[in-house]
């Protein structure tokens, strides 16, 4: 690798814009969520995935796969959420290695309470600022990049 192909002005604008977007948009949406529901985005992701499962519970490994999180990350996060009473760990019947993560009634209530505000926050700061065409392209971009990284859609 002698002379690298530097980024074009458009590419540089997109890259720096993306980095800045990531920093500021996420900070803002996270702050909204924390302030009106006392949850982090991670909490929300975990709980909304659990809420979509049979009986609002599923295996820890399965949950990690849905979230595309490392097992370690999820394990640490479940420990923190368990302390706050949002989720509970249960034994896996039939495979003593396995563990089940279950949404507690308190967690389920917190999620339902947080959802409308969270959606409104995403709308206000992101969707309502974009044209439908831009929304579509953003989805395409994510899909293309993730496909290249070898992930499922």
Partner DNA sequence: ACCAGGTATGTGACACGTCAACTAACGGGT
Partner DNA sequence: ACCCGTTAGTTGACGTGTCACATACCTGGT
**For its own copies, how many residues bind (rule: CB under 8 A)?**
55
CA distances from 89 to 40, 83, 92, 109 (A): 20, 11, 9, 18
Q: Residue 74 in 3-state DSSP?
A: helix
Note whether 48 binds DNA by CB under 7 A: no
User: Do 63 and 101 form a contact (C-beta atoms < 8 A)?
Assistant: yes
User: Do 100 and 91 form a contact (C-beta atoms < 8 A)?
Assistant: yes
Q: Compare residues 72 and 153 and give the one whose CB is closer to DNA.
A: 72
Residues 10-69 that bind its own copies (CB under 8 A): 10-11, 13-15, 17-26, 28, 45, 68-69
Number of C-beta neighbours around residue 23 at 10 A: 10
Q: Compare residues 106 and 135 and give the one whose CB is closer to its own copies.
A: 135
Binding mask 85-124 for its own copies (x = CB under 8 A): ------------------------------xxx-xx-xx-
User: Do 63 and 49 form a contact (C-beta atoms < 8 A)?
Assistant: yes
Note whether 80 binds DNA by CB under 7 A: yes
Note whether 4 binds its own copies by CB under 8 A: yes
Residue from 28, 83, 73, 22 nearest 46 by CA: 73
Note whether 139 binds its own copies by CB under 8 A: yes
Query: Two tokens at 16?
Result: 């720096």
Q: Which does 52 bind (CB under 5 to 8 A by kind): DNA, its own copies, none?
A: none
Q: Report how far residue 107's alpha carbon sits from residue 80's, in angstroms, rounded to the nearest whole number.
A: 13
Interacting residue with its own copies among 54, 55, 83, 149 (CB under 8 A): 149
**Which spans of this chain sit near its own copies (rule: CB under 8 A)?**
1, 4-7, 10-11, 13-15, 17-26, 28, 45, 68-69, 115-117, 119-120, 122-123, 125-127, 129-130, 132-149, 151
């Amino acid at each position: 690798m002698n002379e690298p192909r530097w980024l074009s002005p458009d590419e540089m604008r997109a890259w720096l814009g993306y980095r800045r977007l990531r920093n500021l948009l996420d900070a803002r949406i996270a702050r909204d969520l924390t302030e009106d529901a006392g949850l982090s985005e991670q909490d929300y992701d975990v709980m909304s995935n659990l809420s979509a499962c049979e009986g609002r519970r599923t295996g820890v490994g399965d949950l990690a796969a849905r979230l595309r999180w490392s097992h370690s990350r999820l394990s640490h996060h479940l420990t923190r959420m368990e302390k706050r009473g949002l989720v509970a760990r249960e034994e896996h019947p039939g495979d003593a290695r396995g563990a089940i993560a279950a949404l507690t009634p308190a967690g389920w209530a917190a999620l339902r309470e947080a959802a409308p505000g969270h959606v409104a926050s995403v709308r206000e700061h992101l969707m309502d600022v974009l044209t439908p065409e831009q929304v579509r392209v953003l989805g395409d971009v994510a899909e293309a990049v993730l496909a290249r990284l070898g992930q499922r859609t």
